[in-house]
Amino acid sequence: MLVHLSIHNYAIVDHLDLELDAGMSAISGETGAGKSIMLDALGLCLGDRADSGVVRPGSDKADILASFDLADIPEARSWLAERDLGHNQDQDAPCILRRVITAEGRSRGYINGSPCPQADLKALGELIIDIHSQHEHQSLLKTDTHRRLLDEYAGSQDLARQVQLAAQRWKQTRNELERISSQGDEQRARHQLLSYQLEELENLALGDNELEQLEQEHKALSNAEALLAACRQVLELCSESDAGNVLSALTASLNRLGTFGGQGGALNEASNLLASAQIQVEEAVGELNRFLDHFDADPERQQFLEERLDTIYTLARKHRIQPAELAALQQQLFEELEGLNADDQASERLAEELAAYARHYQEKATELSSLRSNAAERLSAAVEQEMQALGMPGGRFSIQLQAMNSEEPHASGLEMVEFLVSANPGQPLRGLAKVASGGELSRISLAIQVITAQTSRVPTLVFDEVDVGIGGPTAEVVGQLLRRLGERGQVLCVTHLPQVAAQGHQHLFVHKRRGEDATSTAVSKLDESGRVEEIARMLGGVDLTEESLAHARKMVTSAQAA
């Protein structure tokens, strides 16, 4: 419920802090004192549109703050938790909505200190408070609210959620099945192409490091003749030439220096290096001879290598990749083909699930329709009876259940729910949103709320001038109905009728406070004597008489006793 309202520099309000209680709070005051200003300011905290004109003249901004106790509103607590806007450490802390409007026309909204868009304020506001006035913040004008109230009255909220969930699952499954099925011929063609390409790569059977080995061997065989000639020429130069070779030159050099043995120093070091060179040249000659002995210039092997490499290079060019990337391509094509095969299997599975969800939806939705149909008759009769008591003789109320024109499962069920009313005898039933008179709409809404209050999720109801156009016994009935509502939650009622004000559990008096330079609005919580005086003023005008005070005292006493 609403526990605190703070208003700064809004319209003619300079500063206002108001603590609010459970039950019915009657709000009264002189004409022009600003009774509706509090509700207008509260509406801003609940996401209503604002402009710079609401800022008190001479101020740079208007600041409105509303604190709510959400202990009995699990939907609101869940809404906050989903958006990480709740008080995680203190579950009992109030929920604080704030709206700041600058003189330049900029507007900022906050939920528990976190900046938020206007739409979030509005969405949360609809879960915690319902304002009934001639303004736009009236959830009863929405057919979604009609359906929710009927389901709550029927006790079918859980079944309605099951229907909604079944419809959502059906739609998600249908969308996924359509996504897979829409690929159609294109997917089948892709499957055929992948199968052919993968078969080519599998037939190629390219082994690990095979390409590198093939290229090295082919290079060697391609240069066989030149390689053999080079090896033989080196052997000739190193050891076989009669005209002089490296080994004979090294041997002669060592023999020449050997005749001067025992010199030591550089001469000895030179001899050692020449001896080492002689050994290395001999080893090189041996390696060359072994290479020539084992070298096989097989022309058939060379032809095989050329054909194998040509196959590999051609397939790589076909796929516009490097030959070394063929193995990775094969794995990629395999995975894509597996995915297409999985889609085929998924399509069959999804078709079975879709049929199962449709059967489940139809079963639950049919059950829900039966509960709604039975509850609609009872709720219509009860609301119509309240309308008669509220000064609308001959008024009628009906709940229309119109079948959906869609063959697909709908989250709302098999039918649309709309409240239809006729405020006067002879008038046809029309949608609640089309009722012209604001007073009639407020009283019809009051009748609906009285009946559905026991199951309504919104614990705080605000009625702004619901008693317009009524008086006498009807006014007393309105007051009694509002008091009954207040006993189940919280009701704030702006009224000009003493019969309604007398029924309140508490009374707030709105008046103008005049200073030297400006006039502002103030609100006082009246004690017992102050309340009697205010109701007497509402009964008889400015001048209080013993008769009007006695009448007022009797009205308050009778309301409390009842």
Question: What mean pLDDT is predicted for residues 290-317?
Answer: 81
Calpha distance 307→320 (Å, rounded): 20
Q: Please enumerate, as own/partner, the contacts of 345-352 that have beta carbons within 8 Å and a separation of 24 or more.
A: 346/176, 346/180, 347/177, 347/180, 347/181, 350/173, 350/176, 350/177, 350/180, 351/177
Is the confidence at residue 287, as pLDDT, over 60?
yes
Please count the other Cβ atoms lying within 10 Å of the Cβ belonging to residue 278.
17
Q: Tell me the average pLDDT of the chain.
A: 85
Helix, strand and coil content of the chain, in percent to the nearest 5, comes to 55, 15, 25
pLDDT of residue 516: 66
Calpha distance 86→67 (Å, rounded): 13
Q: Which residues pair with 402 in a beta bridge?
A: 416
Calpha distance 49→122 (Å, rounded): 10
Would you tell me the crossing angle of helices 299-318 and 184-204 to the nearest 10 degrees? 160
pLDDT of residue 170: 94
pLDDT of residue 257: 84
Confidence of residue 301 (pLDDT cuts 50, 70, 90): confident
Question: Which has the higher per-residue pLDDT, 515 or 506?
Answer: 506
Quick: pLDDT tens for 199-225.
888 888 888 888 888 888 778 777 776
Q: Which residues pair with 8 in a beta bridge?
A: 15, 63
pLDDT of residue 131: 77
Residue 320's SS3 state is: coil
Q: What is the 3-state secondary structure (H, E, C) of 81-133?
A: HHCCCCCCCCCCCCEEEEEEEECCCCEEEEECCEEECHHHHHHHHHHHEEEEC
Q: Which residues pair with 109 in a beta bridge?
A: 99, 116
pLDDT of residue 306: 82
Q: Which token pair is 138?
A: 């009236």
Number of residues assigned to the chain: 562
Question: Where is average pLDDT lowest: 204-213, 526-535, 552-561?
Answer: 204-213
Question: Where is average pLDDT lowest: 86-95, 105-114, 289-298, 312-321?
Answer: 86-95
pLDDT of residue 73: 87
Please count the other Cβ atoms lying within 10 Å of the Cβ belonging to residue 515.
8
pLDDT of residue 8: 94
Calpha distance 521→54 (Å, rounded): 14
pLDDT of residue 161: 93
Question: Which has the higher per-residue pLDDT, 127 or 262?
Answer: 127
Calpha distance 214→219 (Å, rounded): 8
Q: What is the 3-state secondary structure (H, E, C) of 374-438?
A: HHHHHHHHHHHHHHHHCCCCCCEEEEEEEECCCCCCCCCCCEEEEEEEECCCCCCCEEHHHCCCH
pLDDT of residue 126: 86
Question: What mean pLDDT is predicted for residues 175-188?
Answer: 71
Q: DSSP code of 239?
A: I
Calpha distance 95→521 (Å, rounded): 26
pLDDT of residue 137: 40
Would you tell me the crossing angle of helices 546-561 and 528-540 to the nearest 10 degrees? 120
Question: What mean pLDDT is predicted for residues 38-58?
Answer: 88
List, in order, residues 6 or more apart from 110 with CB less than 8 Å away.
96, 97, 98, 99, 100, 116
Q: How many helices (H) does the chain have, and how many strands (E)? A: 17, 15
pLDDT of residue 135: 47
Is the confidence at residue 145, as pLDDT, over 50?
yes
Q: Which token pair is 500?
A: 């309604």
Question: What mean pLDDT is predicted for residues 544-556?
Answer: 90
List, in order, residues 6 or more apart from 271 with CB less than 8 Å away.
254, 257, 258
- Burial zone of 280 (CB within 10 Å; 0-12 exposed, 13-18 middle, 19+ buried): exposed
Calpha distance 376→371 (Å, rounded): 8
Confidence of residue 136 (pLDDT cuts 50, 70, 90): very low
User: Hey, which of 260-264, 297-301, 406-410 has the most confident mean pLDDT?
Assistant: 406-410
Quick: pLDDT tens for 460-489.
888 877 666 677 778 888 888 889 888 888
- pLDDT > 70 fraction of the chain, expressed in percent and rounded: 90
Question: What mean pLDDT is predicted for residues 384-407?
Answer: 88
- Phi and psi dihedrals of 470, rounded to 5? -130, 165
Calpha distance 337→63 (Å, rounded): 63
Nearest to 395 by CA among 425, 364, 356, 419: 425
